[in-house]
């Protein structure tokens, strides 16, 4: 039986025509972006956004590596490991060009720091964060653009 | 801004004692009061730094300490700004004294910290960034330190050995500090052979979490003189700045930075602005500093502070370290106490502990870790969600 795929947390990402996007917010007529979108409710720190009627928007699904690292020990709850025993996860910080912001995300299992370098082009994908008997809980992840070809 | 006198400092040794945090706080407070020659009943204001890991008494830390010392009718407040809490508490005390509301104030922070990663509050809280970063990304605090260290490697040619050298240097300092938790001297191989926590950082590059407590007695210069403190160590500058939008350094607990799409990044980033503020208040600059206590949550973050506080140009911190300039005996010793690497972080106490060390240094009471002739000291630290923390002390 196929498991149902459900977002680990609602409202943060989506897929449009098979392309993964983070759901952010922006100030109308101004290139000022926020992620997660609910941060925008608190003006996200931008003095120019205070009181503005922010609009939801899909963020760029590609960017370049700003930095990367690992969580070599299992993070504490609410994190749920998808492997037992725990396998280190690789985490990338990626700069989105249009938005001029850096967004964190895990990389899919199997990608290690040796596969990454600063400036490398990355793309967003939706992948499994963890699963139980009924569901696969999904999240956004960053993978090198080359790794996505043909998959 | 008028200078403030620090007439008493106190510190409970750092460790994993497992006792009530209020015990450490009152121990430190009594030591500071005794040194100042101030009777607790004469203290008009107590400013507590909050701990969020010890239930309700931690949220009302100021009154918890006041009660433990014996309620004396003093005015009270409790402040939380994560790692910056101690300096926020000091900032409030300064305001009370300079406004004339009180003659003398007691500032106290203490913590009892569980083992392992610091983690978010319990429950399902998707609108809390501190919860989201653990849940969706698995980004513990060391993840942010690792991202930062990788940037130093890529941009400035830092190596893992450089990071290890920070730990080695600070461990040599800590050998002479009876209040530090870790007083063993490490070498580069010890660090390089410890397991990777967040690549490229290893276990010995990252600070532990500890129990501890620290306290300061502060007052006006006139009041200090009336008690016979003719030449006290003075606070010349105090910074609790917030960032200026957009802050482009990814830092805990965020999963995304601000956007520089519409507003260009400020010329001086958040962490640079923390020290800028105290230099401005004190009318001094980095060239005047003799000794510094900076927040080495990780070894690479200590290197960042050399640049952010203006001790060297951007990208030159590794050279400054390799040249021995930040070791005791060097041009500008950093973390003569041993730093967080030797103490482990006791969150609300740590920023106060930094000031305690600087006071001992400026009084010439630091024993074998004494920085000769230290007249100006600076502390620096940052609390998550945008809290700057820096104190400039002088004599």
Task: Quote the pTM value.
Answer: 0.96
10-residue block means of pLDDT along chain B (395 residues)? Answer: 96 97 98 98 98 96 98 98 97 98 98 83 84 95 97 98 98 98 98 98 97 98 98 98 94 92 94 98 98 98 98 98 98 98 97 98 98 98 93 97
Is B109 in contact with B89 (CB distance < 8 Å)? yes
* Bond preceding residue B9 cis, omega within 30 of 0: no
The predicted structure's pLDDT at residue B124 = 86
Among A45, A46, A78, the residue with its CB nearest the CB of B131 is A78
**Average pLDDT for A90-112:** 97
Q: What is the DSSP letter of B116?
A: S
A42 pLDDT higher than 80? no
The predicted structure's pLDDT at residue A150 = 45
Q: Tell me if chain A has a CB within 8 Å of the CB of B98.
A: no
Instruction: Find, in chain B, the residue whose alpha carbon is nearest to that of A127.
Output: B136
A138 pLDDT higher than 90? yes
A122 pLDDT higher than 90? yes
Burial class (CB in 10 A: 0-12, 13-18, 19+), B178: exposed
The predicted structure's pLDDT at residue A41 = 54
In sequence order, which residues have a C-beta less than 8 Å from that of residue A84 and are 6 or more positions away? none
The predicted structure's pLDDT at residue A53 = 84
Among A48, A67, A72, the residue with its CB nearest the CB of B263 is A48
Count of CB atoms within 10 A of residue B189's CB?
Answer: 11
Q: In this structure, what are the phi and psi dihedrals at residue B69, rounded to the nearest 5 degrees? A: -85, -10
CB contact under 8 A, A98 and B137: no
Is A82 in contact with A129 (CB distance < 8 Å)? yes
Lowest average pLDDT, out of A130-134, A144-148, B59-63, goes to A144-148
Count of CB atoms within 10 A of residue B337's CB?
Answer: 27
CB contact under 8 A, B143 and A67: no
CB contact under 8 A, A106 and B135: no
The pLDDT-based confidence of A151 (bands split at 50, 70, 90) is very low
Residue A90 CA to residue B285 CA, distance in Å, equals: 40
Q: Tell me if chain A has a CB within 8 Å of the CB of B246.
A: yes
| Domains, chain B, with CATH or none | 4-115+211-232 (3.40.47.10), 129-207+236-394 (3.40.47.10)
The predicted structure's pLDDT at residue B252 = 87
Q: For the CA atoms of B117, B122, B124, B127, what is the dihedral angle to 10 degrees? A: -70
Residue B72 CA to residue B44 CA, distance in Å, equals: 9
Q: Tell me if chain A has a CB within 8 Å of the CB of B57.
A: no
Closest CA of chain B from A82, distance in Å = 11
């Amino acid at each position: 039986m196929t498991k149902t795929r459900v977002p680990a947390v609602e409202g943060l990402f989506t897929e449009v025509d098979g392309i993964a996007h983070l759901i952010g917010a922006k100030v109308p007529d101004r290139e000022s972006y926020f992620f997660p979108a609910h941060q925008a409710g608190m003006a996200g720190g931008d003095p120019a956004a205070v009181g503005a009627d922010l609009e939801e928007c899909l963020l760029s699904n590609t960017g370049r590596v700003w930095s990367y690292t690992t969580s070599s020990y299992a993070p504490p709850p609410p994190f749920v490991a998808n492997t037992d025993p725990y396998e280190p996860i690789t985490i990338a910080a990626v700069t989105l060009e249009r938005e001029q912001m850096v967004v964190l995300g895990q990389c899919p299992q199997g990608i290690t720091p040796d596969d990454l370098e600063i400036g490398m082009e990355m793309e967003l994908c939706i992948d499994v964060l963890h699963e139980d008997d009924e569901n696969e809980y999904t999240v956004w992840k960053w993978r090198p653009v080359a790794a996505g070809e043909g998959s | 801004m008028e200078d403030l006198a620090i007439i008493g400092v106190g510190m409970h040794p750092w460790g994993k004692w497992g006792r009530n945090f209020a015990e450490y706080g009152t121990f430190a407070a009594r030591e500071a009061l005794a040194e100042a020659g101030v009777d607790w009943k004469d203290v008009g204001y107590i400013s507590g730094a909050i701990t969020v890991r010890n239930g309700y008494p931690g949220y009302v830390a100021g009154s918890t300490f006041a009660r433990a010392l014996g309620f004396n009718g003093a005015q009270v407040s409790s402040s939380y700004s994560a790692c910056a809490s101690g300096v926020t508490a000091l900032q409030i005390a300064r305001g009370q004294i300079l406004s004339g509301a009180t003659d003398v104030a007691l500032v106290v922070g203490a913590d009892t910290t569980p083992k392992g990663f610091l983690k978010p509050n319990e429950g399902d809280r998707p609108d809390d960034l501190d919860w989201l970063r653990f849940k969706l990304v698995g980004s513990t605090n060391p993840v942010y330190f690792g991202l930062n260290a990788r940037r130093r490697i890529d941009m400035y040619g830092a190596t893992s050995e450089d990071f290890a050298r920070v730990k080695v240097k600070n461990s040599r300092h800590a050998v002479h500090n009876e209040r530090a938790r870790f007083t063993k001297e490490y070498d580069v191989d010890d660090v390089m052979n410890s397991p990777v926590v967040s690549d490229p950082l290893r276990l010995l590059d990252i600070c532990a979490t500890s129990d501890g407590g620290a306290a300061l007695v502060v007052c006006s210069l006139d009041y200090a003189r009336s008690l016979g403190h003719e030449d006290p160590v003075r606070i010349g500058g105090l910074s609790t700045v917030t960032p200026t939008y957009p802050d482009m350094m990814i830092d805990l607990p965020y999963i995304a930075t601000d956007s520089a799409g519409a507003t260009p990044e400020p010329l001086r980033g958040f962490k640079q602005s923390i020290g800028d503020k105290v230099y401005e208040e004190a009318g001094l600059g980095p060239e005047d500093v003799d000794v510094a206590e900076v927040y080495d949550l990780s070894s690479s973050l200590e290197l960042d502070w050399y640049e952010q506080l203006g001790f060297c140009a951007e990208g030159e911190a590794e050279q400054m370290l390799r040249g021995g300039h930040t070791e005791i005996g060097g041009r500008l010793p950093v973390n003569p106490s041993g730093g967080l690497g030797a103490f482990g972080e006791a969150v609300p106490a740590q920023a106060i502990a930094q000031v305690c060390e600087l006071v001992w240094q400026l009084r010439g009471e630091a024993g074998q870790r004494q920085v000769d002739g230290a007249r100006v000291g600076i502390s620096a630290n940052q609390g998550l969600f945008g809290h700057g923390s820096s104190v400039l002390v002088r004599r």
